[in-house]
């Protein structure tokens, strides 16, 4: 679907921006920022495909991915001030990006014939590992392990999407419901300051 | 062998617990702990298989691995206090896990037709890389590079196993000797406070 | 070409030494130093091949790579004092190593039929990711993202090599020009204290 492809590109773009902005905070140079943006955007899908041996990894054949990512660098530099104000818009697109990466990751793994539990796991990998690599390259304990109900939203979304698909409900509808659910969970979690219980 | 498979599951379980406990120390949430447990348990074998292109990686097809790992989370939560007291039992199973992962990693690589030196190297990768990824995700310099004669025990075990196999000695016996050797090296190293010489 | 192979081995050796020396600074033991030396030397090429699914990864079949790397450990221990004085020689070989890894990485990816932009990207991956993994294992923000015009030299070299190849100029000549360019950029950058602009 062209609409999904456009959303996937927007998700890639927004993920790249999140990497570039963290790199800037960490006082990296332009090159470092470009690299961090790149791995944030493609790290999840690449990890999924490498673990499954599902070659080729998508961005080495579809050059729109590298293109969109490299455009994120001048975009972030030019609109730096606006990005701070656009906090909410970025949050929405980031969450849609997560939802998309979760679902498209799951679908790919199901098509490859794996068990649904592996598909759900790999959907989460697709959505979250890019951010984990970003944080490690910036020498931080990954945010996802500490603060937000981020991965939980992916998990809830992945389970919902799987159950809806199994129920025979149309994929487009399932997709919309899943994205709305993930967005809703994240918004409620932030508003209510919800967090997963600590181990200690 | 069913006995070996059971030991491999126990090794996986104990590795997962070691990840979950470090995550708890680092103040991660439940999700973070589950992830750290997961990568600690499967990181070594996955890295070996991905480097060799030996697909499929075992845990995406044998769902007992993810199952055992996810059971480790409630287990660790429930028996937290006992785990502290069970220090010695955990140490023994952890060492048996290392020995097992080293040997099963080697055997897989030899069967794939690689040179024995690559098999020995990959046996060590199987046993140690999970712990390295665990430490990096927790933002620590990997323990294995600093403190224990841990990898050295693997190396000694791997060499011994290879020489015994070449000598025509039966595999089951070689296996038992190797595990005992690795356990003995680690116990002696801890009792005598032995460590590998520092570079400086 | 035998000459190129010899240079590749020297590059591997020098990369391993850079890893071993950083490990020594970080107070690691001999085993840790050997591992860091290993991943510094092979990390870039391995990452490239794993992302592309271009198996087998070269060092699991050509045992000269592991051999050269493990020889770097006693070499570094024995000639530690001289290495400090040999600062310039190491710098030159390190830069030649980078140039070589960039070009040989690119050539491999072009032969596999990928788009030139992916080849250039993977040439840089080949030359730089080993050092990134080295720094992460030592719990530092990768040097390459902060200080030197290191990756930029690779990028300039990769672009130049690609344009020269397309122009029909002989590969040997293109190779020499590219290596000289990369060496020149790094020397000028250090002399003039040039750095890529920071994001902030």
Contacts of C53 in chain B (CB under 8 A): 53
Hey, which chains touch A, using 3+ CB pairs under 8 Å?
B, C
Cβ within 8 Å of residue A57, ≥6 positions away: A42, A45, A46, A49, A50, C51, C52, C53
Other C-beta atoms closer than 10 Å to the C-beta of A104 total: 21
Rounded distance between C-alpha atoms, residue B53 and residue A151, angstroms: 29
Rounded distance between C-alpha atoms, residue C44 and residue C101, angstroms: 8
Closest-CA residue to B34 (of B26, B44, B45, B23): B23
Q: How many residues does chain A have?
A: 200
* Residue C10 lies inside a defined structural domain of this protein: yes
Query: pLDDT for C151-199, tens place per residue?
Result: 788 889 999 999 999 999 998 899 889 989 998 988 888 787 766 667 6
Cβ within 8 Å of residue C167, ≥6 positions away: none
- The distance in angstroms from the start CA to the end CA of chain C is 45
Rounded distance between C-alpha atoms, residue A76 and residue A83, angstroms: 8
Rounded distance between C-alpha atoms, residue C149 and residue C143, angstroms: 10
State whether B198 and C31 contact (CB < 8 Å): no
Kindly indicate the confidence band of residue C94, based on its pLDDT and cuts at 50, 70 and 90: confident
Kindly indicate the confidence band of residue A84, based on its pLDDT and cuts at 50, 70 and 90: confident
Other C-beta atoms closer than 10 Å to the C-beta of B74 total: 10
Closest-CA residue to A159 (of A191, A196, A194, A116): A116
* Residue A197 lies inside a defined structural domain of this protein: no
| Ramachandran sector of residue B3 (left: φ over 0; alpha: ψ -120 to 50; beta: rest) | alpha
* Residue A100 lies inside a defined structural domain of this protein: yes
Rounded distance between C-alpha atoms, residue B180 and residue B173, angstroms: 11
Query: pLDDT for C99-118, tens place per residue?
Result: 889 998 998 899 899 999 99
Residue A101 phi/psi, 5-degree rounding, is -65, -35
**pLDDT value at A60 more than 90:** yes
**pLDDT value at C74 more than 60:** yes
Domain interval for residue A173: 2-191
Contact between residue B6 and residue A177 where contact means Cβ atoms under 8 Å apart: no
- Chains B and C form CB pairs within 8 A to the count of 73
* Residue A113 lies inside a defined structural domain of this protein: yes
State whether A199 and B136 contact (CB < 8 Å): no
**pLDDT value at C84 more than 80:** no
**pLDDT value at C200 more than 90:** no
C-alpha angle C171/C173/C176, rounded to 5°? Answer: 110
Environment class of A133 (CB within 10 Å of its CB; exposed 0-12, middle 13-18, buried 19+): buried
Rounded distance between C-alpha atoms, residue C9 and residue B188, angstroms: 39
Nearest by CB: A199 against B33, B63, B137: B33
Which of C145, C149, C153, C158 should be substituted to probe chain A, the one whose Cβ sees the most A Cβ atoms within 10 Å? C145
Which tokens hold the place of C124? 């840089």
Can you spell out the DSSP letters for B151-197?
HHHHHHHHHHHHHHHHTT--HHHHHHHHHHHHHHHHHHHHHTT--PP
Q: Running DSSP on this structure, what letter comes out for residue B55?
A: P
Mean pLDDT confidence for C13-20: 92
Which tokens hold the place of B193? 């406070």
State whether A197 and B29 contact (CB < 8 Å): yes
Q: What is the pLDDT of residue A177?
A: 93
* Residue A153 lies inside a defined structural domain of this protein: yes
Q: Which residues of chain B have pLDDT under 50?
A: none
State whether B27 and A198 contact (CB < 8 Å): yes
Closest residue, chain A, to B136 (C-alpha): A136
* Residue C37 lies inside a defined structural domain of this protein: yes
Q: What is the pLDDT of residue B200?
A: 60
Contacts of A152 in chain B (CB under 8 A): 31
Residue C198: strand pairing partners: A29
* Residue C67 lies inside a defined structural domain of this protein: yes
* Residue A200 lies inside a defined structural domain of this protein: no
Give the residue numbers in B contacting C (CB under 8 Å), as ranges: 50-53, 114-115, 117-118, 121, 132, 136, 139-142, 144-146, 151-152, 195-200
Which of C108, C147, C149, C199 should be substituted to probe chain A, the one whose Cβ sees the most A Cβ atoms within 10 Å? C199
Nearest by CB: B51 against C32, C36, C57: C57
Contact between residue C97 and residue C10 where contact means Cβ atoms under 8 Å apart: yes
Nearest by CB: A199 against B30, B57, B60: B30
Q: Is the peptide bond before B124 cis (omega within 30 degrees of 0)?
A: no
In the block, tokens 């030359």 appear at C127
Mean pLDDT, chain C, integer: 88
| Ramachandran sector of residue C148 (left: φ over 0; alpha: ψ -120 to 50; beta: rest) | beta
Rounded distance between C-alpha atoms, residue B16 and residue B59, angstroms: 14
Which of C19, C31, C34, C41 should be substituted to probe chain B, the one whose Cβ sees the most B Cβ atoms within 10 Å? C31
Which tokens hold the place of C52? 């592309």
State whether C29 and B140 contact (CB < 8 Å): no
- Chains A and C form CB pairs within 8 A to the count of 74
**pLDDT value at A152 more than 70:** yes
Nearest by CB: C139 against B117, B140, B197: B140
State whether C139 and B144 contact (CB < 8 Å): no
| Ramachandran sector of residue B115 (left: φ over 0; alpha: ψ -120 to 50; beta: rest) | beta
Contacts of B51 in chain A (CB under 8 A): none
Rounded distance between C-alpha atoms, residue A144 and residue A141, angstroms: 9
Nearest by CB: A63 against C115, C132, C199: C115
Give chain B's radius of gyration (CA, Å). 16
Which tokens hold the place of B103? 């040997």
Q: What is the pLDDT of residue C30?
A: 86
How many domains does the structure of chain C reveal?
A: 1
**pLDDT value at A83 more than 70:** yes
Contacts of A199 in chain B (CB under 8 A): 20, 23-24, 27-30, 32-33, 77
């Amino acid at each position: 679907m062209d609409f999904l492809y456009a959303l996937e590109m927007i998700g890639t773009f927004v993920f790249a921006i999140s990497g570039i902005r963290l790199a800037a905070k960490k006082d990296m140079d332009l090159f470092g920022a470009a690299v961090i943006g790149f791995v944030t955007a493609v790290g999840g899908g690449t990890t999924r495909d490498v673990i499954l041996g599902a070659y080729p990894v998508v961005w080495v054949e579809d050059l729109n991915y590298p293109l969109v990512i490299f455009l994120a660098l001048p975009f972030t530099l030019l609109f730096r001030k606006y990005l701070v104000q656009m906090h909410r818009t970025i949050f929405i697109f980031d969450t849609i990006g997560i939802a998309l990466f979760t679902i498209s990751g799951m679908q790919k793994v199901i098509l490859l014939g794996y068990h649904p539990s592996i598909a759900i796991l790999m959907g989460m990998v697709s959505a979250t590992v890019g951010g984990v690599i970003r944080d490690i390259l910036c020498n931080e304990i990954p945010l996802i392990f500490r603060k937000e109900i981020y991965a939980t939203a992916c998990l809830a979304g992945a389970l919902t999407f799987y159950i809806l698909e199994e129920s025979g409900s149309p994929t487009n509808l399932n997709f919309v419901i899943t994205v709305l659910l993930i967005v809703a969970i994240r918004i409620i979690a932030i508003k209510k300051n919800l967090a997963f219980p600590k181990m200690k």
